Amino acid sequence: MSDEPQQLPEPDPLASLKGPERVAILMMALGEQSAASLFRELDPKEVQKIGQAMAVLPNVTRSQIKAVLDRFVSDMADQTGLALGATDYIRNVLTSALGDEKAEGLMDRIMLGGASKRNLEFLKWMDPRSIAEIIRFEHPQIIAIVLSHLEGDQAAEILTMLPENMRSDILMRIATLEGISPAALMELDDIMERQASGSGGGKSSKVGGVRVAAGIMNNLEGTIEEKIMSDVKSLDTELGNQIEDLMFVFANLIDVDDRSLQVLLREVPADRLLMALKGADNDLRDKFFHNMSKRAAEMMRDDLEAMGPTKLSDVESAQKEILQIARRLAEEGKVSLGGGAEDYV
C-alpha cells in the first residue's frame, strides 16, 4: 500500500450556484448586446429570476466563470443541429423533464407561438390594471381564456380588479375550460390587439381547467377567496370541491412533514412568520414551534403574546408570501406539500 496521501477531488465551482445564478454569470460574460438578445427570448418570470440573481450575485470567482462557460459549451456541443423530427424530440425532452401535463402545455405555447401575433403572451409583461381595463368589457368566456394564459398571481390580481359580480362566473369558466382551437386563439389574439391599440381546424390548445382555477384562487386575498368559493359552491358544489381539493392554503401546512417544514423555515424571514402565525390556530403554531430550536420557539411565543391587534390584511399577506415560498420549494423538489409523511427524527 502506498504511503502517499490521497489527493482529494477539487470541489465543483458550480456546487454553490443555483440555476438562475449560473445563467446570470453566463449573461454577464456574454456582454450587454448578446444578453439583451437572449432576454428577448425569455418569458417574464424567467427574466425576473435572472435579473434578481444578477442584482444580488456575490463576488464571482474566475473558476466559477470558467466552469459556467465550459458547461455552456459542453451543452451546446451535445445539440445535434438537425431539424428532422424536431417536434417529437422537443416533446420527448420536455416530457422527461417536466412530466406529461406541463410538457403538453409548454408545447402548445411553443407550436402556436410562431403562428399567432403573441398578444396573449405580451400581456404577461403588462401592468395588471392595464390588462383589467382591456378585458373588463369582454364576454366572461374571453376573460376566462385570457386569465388562463397568465401566471396565477397575475391572474388573481386582475380578477380582483374586475366587477365583483363577474368573478365567480369567470372562475367557473376557467375551471371548466378544456381547449381552444388555433383559429379561435388567433381570433382572440386579434381582439386583444384591437383593444390594446384602442381600436379552421387543427389540434386544440389546452388552457384553463380546475388546476388553473385553484392556482388563481391560491393567490387571492382571503376574504375575496372565501366569497368566490362560496358563490362557486352555491352554483356547482362538485366543481367547488374539486377546486378546493387542489388549493393549498396556509392551514394545510399542518399536514406537511417535519423535514419539509424545516426546509421552509430556513427560507422564511422571522418577521413574516411572526405575522403569519398571528392568524394561525394553536395546532398550526405548535407544528411550527416543534420544528424550531427550543430557544427560537420560546422567542416566537413571547413575540406573539406581546403583539397587539393586527390588521387581517397584513396577516393574510404574510401567509400568502410563505405559501409562495412553499410552492417554489415544492417546484424545485426541495419539499413535499402532499402531507401524510412520517415524522423525521
What is the reported pLDDT for 262? 92
Helix H or strand E segment including 320: helix 312-331
Sequence-distant (6+) residues with CB within 8 A of 28 are: 35, 54
| pLDDT tens digits for range 2-44 | 555 555 556 677 777 777 888 888 777 767 777 777 777 777 7
What is the reported pLDDT for 101? 61
Distance CA 217, CA 293 (A): 34
| pLDDT tens digits for range 293-330 | 999 999 999 999 888 888 888 888 888 888 888 878 88
The amino acid present at 149, given as its one-letter code, is H
Average pLDDT over residues 58-87: 64
Q: Do domains 119-246 and 250-331 have the same CATH topology?
A: yes
Average pLDDT over residues 64-79: 69
> Is residue 48 scored above 80 in pLDDT?
no
Average pLDDT over residues 141-167: 86
Distance CA 321, CA 143 (A): 26
What is the reported pLDDT for 181? 61
Q: What torsion, rounded to 10 degrees, do the Cα atoms 313, 314, 320, 324 define?
A: 150
CATH code for the domain defined by 119-246:
1.10.220.30
The amino acid present at 241, given as its one-letter code, is N
The 3-state DSSP class for residue 15 equals coil
For 250-331, give the CATH class. mainly alpha
What is the reported pLDDT for 202? 38
CA distances from 201 to 44, 150, 183, 204, 298 (A): 30, 25, 7, 8, 64
Burial 298-329 (b: 16+ CB within 10 A, else e): eebeeeeeeeeeeeeeebbebbbbbbebbbeb
Distance CA 40, CA 47 (A): 9
The 3-state DSSP class for residue 43 equals coil
- How far from each other are the two terminal CA atoms of the chain, in whole angstroms? 41
What is the reported pLDDT for 96? 65
> Is residue 113 scored above 50 in pLDDT?
no
Domain spans in the chain, listed from the N-terminal domain onward = 19-77, 119-246, 250-331
